Amino acid sequence: MPLGLQVKRDVRYIAPEVWFVPVSVFEIWRVFILKIKNQEDFWAGLMFVGFGALAIWLSTDYPMGTASRMGPGYFPTYLGGIMLTLGAIVALMSLKSEGGGKITPFAWKPMIMLSVGFVLFGWGVDHIGFIPALFGLSVVTAAAGQKFNVVEVLVMTAVLIAGAVGIFIYGIELPFPLFWWR
């Protein structure tokens, strides 16, 4: 049990021994990040380092072989190494470089809506049929935009479904069930 927690009765109280190290590490990190001028390159570099490390780690499961008889692990391990090195250089250079700027905020709502729409479609075609899946995709996707007028969206969805069924089911005969009763 952590030292500080059992002494004090106040549940909100967490002893300094517990929080001091993580909080100060976080604080140093935060100040350090804020000082970097080229945020884009810094995070890009970190991302590449991450992907490189992931590739190397995953490749440890595959036999390396030798240069003359390359195993399945050979190529990805080397690629991962190159990526890790270059990514680290990108991140380090961003500490000094002048150009580049802050990263603009992420558009969370569209990101979630578009993803949900796609998942609905991917899962839906086989389970509830092409037409309901398209309906879900179109309506949820439309909700990602700034304006959402129910009548407008329903009309648009109807047009899209009619077009898609015409082109893909009757036109080029893709083998999708139209509804859940097939």
Q: Which residues bind other proteins (CB under 8 A)?
A: 40-41, 43-44, 47-48, 51-52, 55, 58-59, 62-63, 66-72, 74-76, 79-80, 82-83, 86-87, 89-90, 93, 100, 103-104, 106-107, 110-111, 114-115, 117-119, 121-123, 125-126, 134, 137-138, 141-142, 144-147, 156-157, 160, 164, 167-168, 172-175
Q: Choose between 6 and 68: whose C-beta lies nearer to other proteins.
A: 68
Q: Choose between 23 and 159: whose C-beta lies nearer to other proteins.
A: 159
- Whole-number minimum distance, CB 79 to other proteins, in Å? 5
User: What are the structure tokens assigned to 32, written together?
Assistant: 């350090």
Q: Which amino acid is at 88?
A: A
- Whole-number minimum distance, CB 58 to other proteins, in Å? 6
- Whole-number minimum distance, CB 122 to other proteins, in Å? 3
Q: Choose between 24 and 115: whose C-beta lies nearer to other proteins.
A: 115
Q: Choose between 6 and 104: whose C-beta lies nearer to other proteins.
A: 104
Residue with tokens 């570099």: 45
Residues 35/41/46/48 CA torsion (nearest 10 deg): -170
Q: Choose between 14 and 43: whose C-beta lies nearer to other proteins.
A: 43
Q: Choose between 4 and 76: whose C-beta lies nearer to other proteins.
A: 76
- Whole-number minimum distance, CB 181 to other proteins, in Å? 19
- Whole-number minimum distance, CB 67 to other proteins, in Å? 4
Residues 6+ apart with CB under 8 A from 33: 39, 42
Nearest to 94 by CA among 18, 151, 33, 37: 37
